[in-house]
């Protein structure tokens, strides 16, 4: 990665960094087999969770709801 670009990115606020990270993650094409660093156990867990979701798709919560719950839980001061 270009050092100047990295330096600029490091100056972003935490919220901007999170937004960028989410945008980058969302830019990975669905079904991509290029997920470096995943162990076989992690891949198996992903497959298990996907199968569970396919059995009962009504149990999902929107990301916004999950994120708000996590922020409320772990961002207490």
pTM above 0.85, yes or no: no
The CA distance from 77 to 74, in Å, is 9
Q: Domain range spanning residue 62?
A: 3-26+38-74
Considering the domain boundaries, does residue 32 fall inside one? no
- Position 39 scores a pLDDT of 87
The CA distance from 75 to 60, in Å, is 23
- Position 32 scores a pLDDT of 72
Structure tokens at 2: 């270009």
Kindly state the average pLDDT of the residues 16-37. 84
More confident residue, 33 or 72: 72
Q: Average model confidence (pLDDT) for the chain?
A: 89
- Position 67 scores a pLDDT of 92
pLDDT tens digits along 39-75: 889 989 999 999 999 999 999 899 999 999 999 998 8
The CA distance from 77 to 72, in Å, is 10
**8 A C-beta contact, residue 71 and residue 64:** no
Considering the domain boundaries, does residue 58 fall inside one? yes
Structural Rg of the chain based on CA atoms: 17
Instruction: List strand residue ranges (DSSP E) for 1-77, in order.
Output: none
Domain count, the chain: 1
């Amino acid at each position: 990665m270009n050092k100047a670009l990295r330096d600029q990115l490091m100056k972003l606020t935490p919220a901007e960094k999170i937004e960028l990270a989410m945008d980058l993650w969302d830019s990975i094409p669905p079904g991509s087999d290029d997920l470096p660093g995943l162990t076989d156990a992690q891949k198996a867990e992903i497959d298990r969770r996907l199968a569970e979701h396919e059995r009962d798709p009504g149990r999902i919560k929107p990301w916004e709801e999950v994120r708000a719950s996590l922020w409320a839980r772990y961002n207490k001061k």
